[in-house]
Structure formats: structure tokens, C-alpha cells
Amino acid sequence: MKNILLLGAGRSASYLINFLSEESVKNKWKVFVADAHVEHILKYNSSHLSVVKADLNDDQKRDDLIKWSDVVISLLPPSMHILAAKTCLAFGKHLLTASYCAKEIAELDTVARKKNVTIITELGLDPGLDHMSAIEMIDKIKKDGGKIISFKSFCGGLVDTGSDNNPWHYKFTWNPRNVVLAGQGGTAKYLENGKMKYVPYHQLFRNTLKINIGEEGEFEMYPNRDSISYMTKYGLEDTETFIRGTLRRPPFCICWDALVQLGLTDDSFEIEDLSTTTFVEFLQSFLVNTSGTTEERLTTFLGIDAQHEIYKNIEWLGLLSDKKIGLVMATPAQVLQHILSQKWKFEDVDQDMIVLFHEFIYQKEGKNTKITATLVEKGTNNIDTAMAKTVGLPLAIATKLLMTGNLNLPGVHIPVIPAIYEPVLAQLQEYGLQIEVVQE
Amino acid sequence: MKNILLLGAGRSASYLINFLSEESVKNKWKVFVADAHVEHILKYNSSHLSVVKADLNDDQKRDDLIKWSDVVISLLPPSMHILAAKTCLAFGKHLLTASYCAKEIAELDTVARKKNVTIITELGLDPGLDHMSAIEMIDKIKKDGGKIISFKSFCGGLVDTGSDNNPWHYKFTWNPRNVVLAGQGGTAKYLENGKMKYVPYHQLFRNTLKINIGEEGEFEMYPNRDSISYMTKYGLEDTETFIRGTLRRPPFCICWDALVQLGLTDDSFEIEDLSTTTFVEFLQSFLVNTSGTTEERLTTFLGIDAQHEIYKNIEWLGLLSDKKIGLVMATPAQVLQHILSQKWKFEDVDQDMIVLFHEFIYQKEGKNTKITATLVEKGTNNIDTAMAKTVGLPLAIATKLLMTGNLNLPGVHIPVIPAIYEPVLAQLQEYGLQIEVVQE
């Protein structure tokens, strides 16, 4: 019997586990789902699927699990993938992840080729489905004789309009810590009309691009840290505009920018004694050199009046309240996440939405043509989310390809290779994930 | 014969070397001055002073030098002090530095005590003379029955008014890289009226305090990263206001803030091909989402008009010129340093100035009293600078105390202990470094 091992099973694992569960019955495989916390996944336990409670920081435990597997999927925190990758290489097992390909993983390419091991990273939604759907279009345009001069690719995990009942138009349908720290990895870089652009963190949320996407209405986009390295990966070295970005609903970005300007997203130091501190006192610590009431100090700092939606949204979060924070020691970012987790809670009755949008402009016979490719997917409920579906299914389909011997690709890869993206995109259509292409 | 070893001899070493040279003749000591580049210090070579060309990253070389010494002074880059400290401990030698006491140095305290080795850090101007002069006053006020409720301490290394002929009112009298990266070590923290204040880097230069210091006129102050940890070290745990800061001449800070906002001080990534890039193209890379001429884009970004001194000062630096940068690969901060090194050059004919200013407010018998302590020192020429004098002499005097057996203080210390600051401050007076105390 052949075995699949899933390391880590957080919120986004539901579709993946269901897919693997069904396929394992059909194919007489066995699936092991290992996590430190298993309460929420025990329901999946069946004759072909075993839930294993395990501390995956424990080398021995990881070794024991990986050595009996044929394909390993890691949904662990990104920093832990390298541990899984090294063990997979030691035992000659394939590995799939939905995270960005860290340098230390990329460096395993030669060894992986030698050992006939396939490692595919960036195989979720973003990164993942964005690459696959972009490359498919790029290949098509190139084959048709077009020269792509502009490429824009935006993606966002949001709350669906029907469940959107807060003035930030945002809920945590995804890892809250990643949302709070978004953009802090480093200066965003992209190419616009042949010129390099650099956007430091403290400018990131104040220079957004407004964009209308079909029936879904208005979004705003802030640039991702790394666009430039994908130009080569996409075969678009000569494109004049190349930008990847993240989508939010207005006025999210200008309001979030206010929190950034204040310093509330700072994760670099811990406030040592918060035991008696209220939210308004926490906020006041970031209001320097101003006098008057907190309202006056905040509006002066932000250069707005108290009727402005930025002020209203900060107030709505409870940052002006004299309620105790309820933490003892935390970074400003952790205090912020603590209050946001209550205010932006993705409730049982809520549905999420993912939006993936590409815009290509290509030249052919002296004429410029614009094509857009859009995927809007909405969640079924707060377990079977659009995020879980779009992150999980690419991983699931690639797992099946490897298990059935239909993917033989030793080395470290991201899904910009036809052998990966063609079968994955084809099968995603069967699950209703159809990208809508419009030529203007 | 007893030996003194000076590791690293940059711009600020002149007074130190002269002092050690004179004392070594009197006391029959031998001084070794070791650096990777020795051209500028060969003039000091004498019967009692040897200049040694040595790569001080080389463990063996460092060992060979340290093991024959009695007292070692490190003016190496801060990250290298730990190497010197470990070798000093291995051979039982005393060590002095003018840098902030890094955690890894502080952790050597127990071993140093066991081995009877004295390590004193923060023994220059700032940190150094600021601590010593503050503590002396604090002890005096406390002995007199006063309770200090507010302490402010500001220090700056500047160009003297007579040599100040540029609109930034600043020249590099000190390490240029440190100036360009100032504030990037982490969020500034201080206490004001009993409340903690946090200032992130991108707010640091826009919330300055204006201050008049005697005949020297107007300065502005931005807070240092670490004020809070000195409250305990100064014995001022119950003070309501405690802030340490850096002094500049207006309008330095608002103009520097513009460079920070643009992202030009970013040292986190390298621009890969600058070979044909001009300064204005470099600047344009940081102007996103704006249209029009560069002037229009820059003034829009900064929210000022082209007559504003911020715009004028950026223009004066040459950041709007279409001159080639002349570097191949560099971080934005390195490009900025490259242009500043030309525009803010401390010329042969120039004189520098250091300003050290403390303000104490204490309560006694129900009455609040304000005392200020000020040291303004001006350089003799561009070698014998005020910076070299005020950084070098505390080190020099402490070296003499150790060499003559008048300082026996095993462990790791900063100069907040009477056994250090009393003799050092007394001897500094002989060199004309007299702190002026004014009670209001």
C-alpha cells in the first residue's frame, strides 16, 4: 500500500483532506494527517485516513512519519519546510508545499535531481494558481505571435460581499499574523513602463491602485515584495511593466496605512507590562509631540478630522476604548492582532471569497491588445472556504499525479512547467475553478 | 615594560594616540597601534609607539597582539568588539571600548570577574561622557535631598558654525555610514510624564524637539533608540520623564525625513545595475503613482512646493541631476552615502563641534528646580577634532588608570560607577573639558 503524508492541517486543509480521502479509497492508498493539534481534524479519521497527533518540530517523529510515505505535503509554517525537505531527501520522498520557495529549499535542487526526488513549492493559490494561470496565458499569447509588454497579477483572500458587515470590509479568512505583518518582509519592487519602482513598507498602503473587477466592483491593490524575480520565471524578461500585488476592498489600505504610520504593526519589540494598560493608553504611546484630547492628538497625527473614515475605522476597532488589553507582554503587532481577531472574526455563518486577476497587454502586428483573466471563487461555508479550495486543490491534484506516476520531475520546481500546470489546471476545471478570459 | 594595544585607529583616534604616546614616554610603557590601513597613522611611530599593519579579522593576528598587552582599547567596528573581548578574557587582559555594550559583551561579566579582567564599554562621548556627566549631577542632586522627576540628555557631533557653509548645516565629522543608517536599529522608546512613548523609524525625524542651547542657538533633537534601559543604570527608576536624544541643526531633520519617506535610506536590498543610472533616475524609482515632471512628482509626494527648503535641499544634494551615480551595485543607503560624502565633506579647513546637554528637573521641599549641564567643544582642526578629543580622552584616561593600578574593577561595566567617572571627569577638566552647570 502506498502512503501520503500531510504535515500540518490548519484552516486551509479541508478540501485537500477530503480530496486525498476520496482518492485513497479509490486507489487503495493510505493518508496520514499529522499535526500538533488534532481535535479539529479527528472527523476525517477513516479506514484509509489516519489522524496522527505529533510535534513536528521533533526530528525523530518527523523521520518516522516521512520514511513510510511516498508523497509528503507540508502545510507547516514556512520556516519548517526546510526540515521536511531535508528528511524527504534523506529518504527519497517527494514533497509539495504552497509556500514561497525559500533560498535554502531552492539550493536543494541538485541533490533532489540526483536522488530522483520531486519538490514542488508555490503550489497553492498565491503563490500557485496565480503562476499556473498566468503562464498558461503567456504561453498561448507567445504561440500566437504576441509580445507581452505589460503584465499585472493581483490576488486577494477576502470576505464575501454577503458576509461583509464591517467598515474595514475585511475578515480573517486566513492566517491573522500574516495579515498583520504583511509587507514587512522587505521593500516592494516592480517594473513600470521600463522603470524599476521601490516601495518601502511605510509607503506600501498609501500608494494603492484602484481597480474594478467585473461584477465584484472596486478593489485596491498594493504591490507584493517580489515581482522582479518572476519576470525570468515567467519568461517575460523584456516586458516593460511587471507587477504582482495583493487585493483589498477600499478603504482598507488607507486605514491600515494609518496603523502603519502610528507604528502599531511593529513586531520588533515587546511592551513589557501591559497588565493594566487599556487600548487607548496603548494608542497614546504612539502619539508623540501632540497635545489635547486623544481625538485631537490622533486626528492631528493623521492630518484628518474625526469625521474621516480612517478615524471612524480606528475607533470602530476599539483602539480608543479604555477597556483593558488583557495581555501581559506583547509586541505592538501582537496587541493589534489581538484586537483584530475579535473585530475581524470570520464567523460560523460567514463565507469567504478569493479574487485572482491577471491583465496582459501584448503587441502583435503593431497593435496593442489587452486580455484579462479572472477567477472569483466563493466559499461554501466557513470550513469549506474558497481559500481552502484554491490552496488545497492544486496540492491535491499534484499529489495524485505523483502517486499515479504521472509526474516525473526530479529537482526543486515552482509550477511554471507545462508538465505541472497543464494537468493541474485541467483538473481544477472539473472542480469548477474556471478562469474567465476577456479580450478587450 | 608594560604594553598598551589600540585596535583600530580611525578618524577619532588622534587625541587618544597623542595622549598614550606622551604617557608611554613618561611611564616607560610601549603602545602598539594596530590597523588594516596604517598610512594615516605612520606619523605617530616613535620609540615608545609602534604602528602595526594587521588584518584584525585574523584570529591568530589578534591573539598575537593581545597576549603581549596589559590594556587593550578597541576602536574596531562595534560587531568586532566581541572578538577582542573573548581574546582579552582568554589572556586575562583589560579591555576598553567607546561603543554601546552589546548583549554578548554584557554576558561576559561573570567570567571577567572570575578572571580579574576589567571590561569597560560606552567610554567615549555618547555613549560615555554623557553617562559620566549625568551621573555626577544625579548623585549631587540626590545627596542634596532632591528627587529627580525629569531627565533629558542630548548630544550631537556637528560642524562648527564658522565652517557651516551648506544648507543642511551638517558635515561628516564622524562615521558617514552610521549617520545614513541612524535610527534604523529599532523603534525609539522613552518616557514622558510617566507615559511610555514609541517612535518607529519612519516617524523619527518628523517629531523633533526644538531647543536653544546658550550662545550656540537653535538645535533640534530626535530620540535615541534606547533611553529606557538607562533609567535603572542611572538610578532614576521613578523619574517621570527620561529621554536621550541626538542633536542636529534645523532644518536637518525635516529634510532627512523626506529622504526617509522616499526610501532613500533603505539598506535592505541592492540595486543590481546602476552602471548607467543617473541620480534623478535613482530618485524617480522611489516616486510611485504620480505623474508629471520630476519636480511635480517630488513636490506632490512630499506635499510641499518647489520653493520649500526641503525641495531646495534635496536639489542641492544633486539628487535631481542627470549625472551618473558612478556605482555598479549598491543599496539605496549606499547611493545616498556616496552623494552625501561629496556634498557633506568635512574639508581640511573645517572645524567641528560637539554639543552635550543635560536638563534635570528635581523636587525638593515642594519646589521644582531646573538645572542644565552643557558642554560645547570645538575642534582645533580637521584632525584634532572635538569628536576625537571627547571620544578619545575618556578612553585615554581610563587606560592610564588601569595601567597605573588605580582602577581595579573586574567585570563588564559602563562608566556609571564613581571609581570610573570621578577620576575621568577630574582629569578631563585639565584638558579644558569643563561642563557648564546652570540652575534656573
Contacts of A263 in chain B (CB under 8 A): 187, 198-200, 203
Mean pLDDT for chain A? Answer: 95
Nearest beta carbon to residue B285 from set A195, A263, A281: A195
The 10s digit of each residue's pLDDT in B17-50 is 999 999 999 999 999 999 998 888 888 888 889 9
The answer to whether B234 and B137 are in contact (CB under 8 A) is no
Nearest neighbour of B195 by CB, restricted to A189, A284, A332: A284
CA–CA separation, A253 and B431 (whole Å): 58
From chain A, the residues in CB contact with B271 under 8 A are 196
With contacts defined as CB-CB under 8 Å, which chain B residues touch A289?
207, 209
Contacts of B268 in chain A (CB under 8 A): 186-187
Contact B34, B54 (CB under 8 A): yes
Distance from CA of A332 to the nearest CA of B (A): 10
pLDDT tens for each residue of A379-404: 999 889 999 999 999 999 999 999 99
Segment among A428-432, B168-172, B309-313 with least mean pLDDT: A428-432
Please state which CATH class domain B3-125+386-434 belongs to: alpha beta
Which one of B198, B209, B332 has the shortest CB-CB distance to A286? B198
pLDDT in tens, B380-419: 998 899 999 999 999 999 999 999 999 999 999 999 999 9
The pLDDT value recorded for residue A175 is 87
Residues from chain A contacting residue B186 (CB–CB below 8 Å): 268-269
Contact list, B273 vs chain A (CB under 8 Å): none
Contact A198 B284 (CB under 8 A): no
pLDDT range class, residue B67, cuts 50, 70, 90: very high
Hey, are the CB atoms on B196 and A286 less than 8 Å from each other? no
Look at B286 and A198 and tell me if their CB atoms are within 8 Å. yes
Contacts of A195 in chain B (CB under 8 A): 281, 284-285
Question: A285 vs B186: CB contact, 8 Å cut-off?
Answer: no
**Residue A429, CA atoms < 13 Å, CB-side half-sphere:** 10
Instruction: Indicate the residue of B197, B266, B284 with minimum beta-carbon distance to A187.
Output: B266
Question: In percent, how much of chain A has pLDDT > 70?
Answer: 100
Tens of pLDDT, residue by residue over A50-92, are 999 999 889 999 999 999 999 999 999 889 999 999 999 999 9
Residue-averaged pLDDT of chain B: 95
- Do B286 and A261 count as a contact with CB atoms less than 8 A apart? no
Q: Is the CB of A203 less than 8 angstroms away from the CB of B285?
A: no
Which residues in A have their CB inside 8 Å of a CB on B?
Answer: 186-187, 189, 192, 195-200, 202-203, 207, 209, 261, 263, 266, 268-269, 271, 281, 284-286, 288-289, 332
**Whether this model's pTM surpasses 0.90:** yes
- The whole-number pLDDT of residue A12 equals 77
Q: How far is A207 from chain B (nearest CA, A)?
A: 6
Grid cell for residue A54:
505529533
pLDDT at B402: 97
Q: What is the chain B residue with the closest CA to A194?
A: B285
Look at residue B195 in the predicted model and tell me its pLDDT.
93
Chain B positions touching chain A (beta carbons under 8 Å): 186-187, 189, 192, 195-200, 202-203, 207, 209, 261, 263, 266, 268-269, 271, 281, 284-286, 288-289, 332
pLDDT of residue A40: 83
Residue of chain B nearest A186, judged by CA positions: B268
Give the model's pLDDT for residue A204: 97
Distance of CA B48 to the CA centre of its chain: 30
- Chain B residues lying within 8 Å of A189, measured CB to CB: 269
The string of pLDDT tens digits covering residues B78-120 is 899 999 999 999 999 999 999 999 999 999 999 999 999 999 9
Nearest to B187 among A199, A200, A268 (CB): A268
ipTM: 0.91
3-state secondary structure chain A: CCEEEEECCCHHHHHHHHHHHHHHHHHCCEEEEEECCCHHHHHHCECCEEEEECCCCCHHHHHHHHCCCCEEEECCCHHHHHHHHHHHHHHCCEEEECCCCCHHHHCCHHHHHHCCCEEECCCEECCEHHHHHHHHHHHHHHHCCCEEEEEEEEEEEEECHHHCCCCCCCCCCCCHHHHHCCCCCCCEEEEECCEEEEECHHHHCCCCEEEEEHHHEEEEEEECCECCHHHHHCCCCCCCEEEEEEEECCCHHHHHHHHHHHCCCCCCCCECCCCCCEHHHHHHCCCCCCCCCHHHHHHHHHCCCCCCHHHHHHHHHCCCCCCECCCCCECHHHHHHHHHHHHCCCCCCCCEEEEEEEEEEEEECCEEEEEEEEEEEECCCCCCCHHHHHHHHHHHHHHHHHHCCCCCCCEEECCCCHHHHHHHHHHHHHCCCCCEEEEC
Q: B261 and A203: CB-CB below 8 Å?
A: yes
**pLDDT above 80 (res A290):** no
Q: Smallest Cβ distance to B197: which of A186, A196, A288?
A: A288
Query: Residue A327's pLDDT is what?
Result: 95
What was the pLDDT predicted at A30? 95
Nearest CA in chain A to B269: A187
Report pLDDT digits (tens) over B226-254: 899 999 999 999 999 999 999 999 999 99
Could you tell me what percent of chain A has a pLDDT over 90? 89
CB pairs under 8 A between A and B: 71
Q: Tell me the chain A residues in contact with residue B285 when contact means C-beta distances shorter than 8 Å.
A: 195-198
Interface contact flag, B263 A198, Cβ < 8 Å: yes
Contact B289 A195 (CB under 8 A): no
Residues in chain B closer than 8 A to A281 (CB atoms): 195
pLDDT of A194 reads 94
pLDDT at B289: 67
A200 min Cα distance to partner chain B (Å): 6
How far apart, in Å, are the Cα atoms of B430 and each of A115, B314, B423, B426, B427?
A: 74, 43, 11, 7, 5
- Give me the residue from A207, A285, A332 closest to B288, CB to CB: A207
* B5's grid cell: 594595544
* CA nearest to B210 within chain A: A289
Find the closest chain B residue to A287 by CA distance.
Answer: B197
- Asked if A209 lies within 8 A of B263 by C-beta distance, the reply is no
Of the residues B232, B288, B291, the best mutation for testing chain A's interface (the one with the most A CB atoms within 10 Å of its CB) is B288
Q: Quick one: pLDDT band at residue A210, thresholds 50, 70, 90?
A: very high
Among A221-230, B121-130, B281-290, B424-433, where is mean pLDDT lowest? B281-290
Nearest to A263 among B187, B266, B268 (CB): B187
**A203 and B263 in contact by Cβ < 8 A?**
yes
Residues of A in contact with B200 (CB under 8 A): 202, 263, 266
Contacts A334 to B, Cβ<8 Å: none
Inspect the interface and report whether the beta carbons of A195 and B281 lie closer than 8 Å.
yes
pLDDT value at residue B109:
97
Chain A residues with beta carbon closer than 8 angstroms to that of B267? none
Could you read off the pLDDT of B283-329 as tens digits, one per residue? 999 998 668 999 999 999 999 999 999 999 999 999 999 999 999 99
pLDDT tens sequence across A163-189: 999 999 999 998 899 999 999 999 999
Query: Do B269 and A187 lie within an 8 Å CB cutoff?
Result: yes
**B261–A202 CB contact, under 8 Å:** yes
DSSP secondary structure, B73-131, as one string: EE-S-GGGHHHHHHHHHHHT-EEEESS---HHHHTTHHHHHHTT-EEE-S-BBTTBHHH
What mean pLDDT is predicted for residues B416-428? 96
Taking CB atoms and an 8 Å limit, are A195 and B286 in contact across chains?
A: no
Looking at chain A, which residue has its C-alpha nearest residue B202?
A202
